[in-house]
Chains A and B, each alone.
Chain A
């Protein structure tokens, strides 16, 4: 995937005409495999823009920084990123008319973070090619679901195999096995809050974990506070996670957070579905757990 040329042309047009104040895209970092978020505000800056195979970041999350402003923002959005934009629109975090969405049909991206790590000397050399980012393996929507302009040809929807296979394995564990499993993966958490900070669905102005009156979750790094953190966060993601996989990608201790999110996706779909978060934007629509209906299932309560 490389839409650098197309995005630069669009960015130039939008900035020159004054249609937008900034264009959110990417630029190259120090290494050939490093692509990092970048905001171009002038035509002169457009030649720094890239949109290449390492454009992994969900830029929708970067919109939050501008939520209180008035700027008109053009944003490049892959399929999953565009679902993030729908997330923000449904959550009333930004107004649709402030956005100009440059949708890109995404054939999958690689993760510059994995490439940095693989080349850092901090890991044993692996022989296999790095391949696509792990989030792309379970992608259900490579095409942007909301856009003002589309780059590339719409792609056929992938036929997913085994999207929930691992979830079902875990569901079939005994209670003790399952507890042990979660204890193992969550005991390594260092509580850096990277998963929260990089999550577009985590857009609360004051996060429950930063609340001090009362303090809902302790700051100690131990299994009970770590579990509390992850389980509370997971339940806040139910019906809201748009599967951009950023939480899992950025985790410095490799906690498989998408397993937890995908379990909730499966359950929400089962209880309230068919439902996939952020697949289309209809003004006024809310995620299933944000609305109450008389016939909502309640067997699980």
Chain B
């Protein structure tokens, strides 16, 4: 097996960074997320390959929080439009966990399938290589295996790093992975090592049958009950590796400007507010319900799998303790009329 010794990890990143912008998990000040190796400062930043995960998933690398789409200029009645060149510098996302890789798989389905290809997304996605970090040690709020994610074998990874004593097994999965491995082959060592086995999950949910059951639960009192503490902020949607909703807005000064898209959240009142005044999801409960139904029923109906990877971030970061696990449990236990 090819093994990357822990002592050579930074050398490998350095080498990869010669050909691409490499993003790795770091603790930076009070933040944790994926930051460019170009910005790494060993006095302030702490590499986080060895902890469970970081608070901010790397979804912003593929779906930036704000993205310019095209610029325009108006002169009199004339208008000209110029597409803003997409940011297509090759990127490597290194050290990403299975749950977040699955998040990217779902983004791929949304932005690349069902009739339309989102060209901005595609340009960026094509240039991204994923080096995952297999998980053998689930955390206290992890339930990825319950949502059909294998913590040790992320599907869309180009390379999987598998932690072993003293380093990582370098497990190449795709052609993109082969290509990137060529750059660092001399830093890997051939060695026989024993892989860790996956530790048991502390949290489990039974998702089987939930999407089907939810069809009859739109008016169920559970939505009232669980939405009551929710203050409809956007923390859960913005930390979620799968939430992808966006808004399109304009920035103009005088007769020129640009149109951009930016993340949006279904928890916000304005999200479905129509110009004429009507809002189909006026109440907090209605927005809360739509968020969970989208994840657990609507997305599965459209794309076949639930829009949740079991990463646990929304559970950890919700200021009022809303838990998707509890909601799934409640659906599972609910008696429905059907």
Contact = CB atoms under 8 A, between A and B. Distances in A.
A30 B203 CA distance: 11
A252 B249 CA distance: 25
A232 B142 CA distance: 38
Sort A-B residue pairs by CB-CB distance and give the 10 closest, nearest first. A121-B139, A121-B52, A36-B321, A194-B233, A254-B30, A250-B319, A192-B234, A197-B233, A37-B229, A197-B231
28 contacts: A30-B325, A30-B326, A37-B229, A39-B228, A57-B319, A57-B320, A61-B231, A112-B321, A117-B317, A120-B316, A121-B53, A121-B139, A124-B27, A190-B238, A191-B65, A191-B234, A192-B234, A192-B235, A193-B268, A210-B269, A212-B270, A218-B251, A219-B66, A220-B262, A221-B65, A246-B319, A252-B235, A253-B31
Interface string A208-236: 00101001001111100000000000000
Chain A interface: which size bin? 35 or more
Contact of A254 (B31, B52, B142, B249): B31
Given A36-B229, A121-B141, 13 more contacts: A29-B321, A30-B326, A39-B228, A120-B140, A120-B141, A122-B313, A123-B27, A193-B233, A194-B235, A198-B231, A198-B233, A218-B249, A219-B66
Contacts of B29: 188, 254
B161 to A, nearest CB: 18
B265 interface: yes
Interface of A: 29-30, 34-39, 57, 61-62, 65, 112-113, 116-117, 119-124, 188, 190-194, 196-198, 210, 212, 215, 218-222, 246, 249-250, 252-254
B133 to A, nearest CB: 13
Given A116-B316, A221-B262, A124 B51 contact: yes
Nearest to A35: B321
A37 B228 contact: yes
A86 B233 CA distance: 24
Contacts of B30: 253-254
B312 interface: yes
Contacts, number: 131
Interface in B1-51: 27, 29-32, 46, 51
B232 interface: yes
A123 B229 contact: no
B139 A120 contact: yes
B210 interface: no
A252 B234 CA distance: 10
Contact of A192 (B66, B265, B312, B325): B265
Interface of B: 27, 29-32, 46, 51-56, 65-66, 139-142, 228-229, 231-235, 237-239, 247, 249, 251, 260, 262-263, 265, 268-270, 284, 312-313, 315-317, 319-321, 323, 325-326
B262 A219 contact: yes
A252 B251 contact: no
A35 B29 CA distance: 28
Contacts of B46: 124
A244 to B, nearest CB: 12
A252 B66 contact: no
A118 B313 CA distance: 13
Nearest to A24: B228
A34 B321 CA distance: 7
A122 B312 CA distance: 10
A109 to B, nearest CB: 14
Nearest to A222: B66
A254 B312 CA distance: 19
B323 A29 contact: yes
B262 A122 contact: no
Contacts of B249: 215, 218-220
Contacts of B231: 61-62, 194, 197-198
Contacts of B313: 122
A66 to B, nearest CB: 11
B276 to A, nearest CB: 13
B262 A188 contact: no
Contacts of B260: 220
Contacts of A39: 228
A228 B268 CA distance: 19
Nearest to B234: A192
Nearest to A255: B30
Contacts of A219: 66, 247, 249, 262
B264 to A, nearest CB: 8
B65 A250 contact: no
Contacts of B320: 36-37, 57
A117 B262 contact: no
B238 A252 contact: yes
Contact of A198 (B27, B262, B319, B325): B319
Most chain B CB within 10 A, of A35, A196, A221, is at A221
A120 B319 contact: no
